[in-house]
Amino acid sequence: MSAINRNAQQIAAAVVSNKRVGQYHQLIVNIGDAANHCKPGNFVAINVGGDTSRMVLRRAFAISRVSANSISGGTMELIVAPYGQGSSWLCSQNEGAMLDVVVPLGTAFGIPTEPVQVLLVGGGYGSAPLFGLAEVLNARGCRVDMLLGASTASKIYAPMEGKRSVNSLRIYTEDGSMGQAGRVTDPIKALIDDMNIAVIYSCGPMAMLSAIDSLTRGTDVIHQCAVEESMACGIGICMTCVLPTMGSDGVISMLRSCIDGPVMDGETVLWDKVGKAL
């Protein structure tokens, strides 16, 4: 049995910078050598609220990008939406603030061994880890097309520099305030039919992941999705973040999205059983 989270470590990490980007915050955090072990899809668990906080659980954030050789040592980038008390606290941390971070956690996106054609689909700030993934896929020689969607323009996360590593980027908003009006999943069927897409990588709300699965299930297209379920620990001990899955052997099990995910093969997830008793 291989060790779980073999490279994970708990470290004190300094905030290098904190910038507001639309409705989100971009945090750069110095994680030193741990950056060498982070792969696209991995996440971090961060203590929030300080020592006297009444928030006892860590908050999990996808790592959007790492830089192993920046001036300040190894760093990671997080894109954080200040929606809840914990994420708001994190977004209020300024340069120099120290964070208690467990990194890296969870499974990473699988990278094709051949330079195949891939489609990246992001919903809201779920697009963040896709730009780091695009860089890796690009280096592998893959053709990388990207679709981003959100309810409205201010919830689209699409940094200028990120666009360099994709061959094309299309944006969809439900209210039509940016890009085309509609859902990000609308063009996928046609793209699968017209292009020779081998893998779809997705990150965003569960409803979006499920909708993509319904388009790829039964086809040759592999769907690698980063799932989200509320979790208490991030390291596999609390059993709260489970998803119903069926393995290739037909065995149904509740897998932890923190250690058996967040990246899962979409075809293994029993989407219609999520939140229901097995």
The residue (of 56 and 71) whose beta carbon lies closer to another protein is 56
DSSP classification of residue 24: E
- Structure letter (DSSP) for residue 49: S
CB of 174 closer than 8 Å to CB of 208: no
The one-letter amino acid code at 107 reads: T
39 Cβ contact partners less than 8 Å away, ≥ 6 residues apart: 104, 108, 109, 136
Q: How far apart are CA 50 and CA 89, in angstroms?
A: 9
Strand partners, 263: 226
- If one asks whether residue 143 binds another protein (CB under 8 A), the answer comes out as no
Query: Tokens 């699968």 appear where?
Result: 192
Question: Which listed range, 22-30, 137-145, 210-218, 268-276, lies at the site for another protein (CB under 8 A)?
Answer: 268-276
For another protein, the closer of residues 213 and 228 by Cβ is 228
By the rule CB under 8 A, 10 interacts with another protein: yes
Quote the CA–CA distance of 72 and 17 in Å, as a whole number.
11
Q: Which stretch binds another protein (CB under 8 A): 108-116, 132-140, 194-202, 237-245?
A: 237-245
| Using rule CB under 8 A, residue 250 touches another protein | no
Query: How many residues in the shown chain lie near another protein by CB under 8 A?
Result: 39
Q: Which stretch binds another protein (CB under 8 A): 13-21, 52-60, 135-143, 216-224?
A: 52-60
Single out the residue of 172, 176, 194 nearest to residue 121, CA to CA. 172
18 DSSP assignment: E
Q: Does 274 bind another protein (CB under 8 A)?
A: yes
Asked if 68 interacts with another protein (CB under 8 A), we say: no
CB of 45 to another protein, least distance (A): 9
* 102 near another protein, judged by CB under 8 A: yes
Quick check: 239 binds another protein (CB under 8 A)? yes
Q: Identify the burial level of 47 via C-beta atoms within 10 angstroms of its C-beta, where 0-12 means exposed, 13-18 middle and 19 or more buried.
A: buried
The stretch among 19-27, 56-64, 156-164, 165-173 that binds another protein (CB under 8 A) is 56-64
Q: Where do contacts with another protein occur on this chain (CB under 8 A)?
A: 1, 3-6, 8, 10, 47, 54-58, 100, 102, 229-233, 235-244, 252-254, 259, 274-278
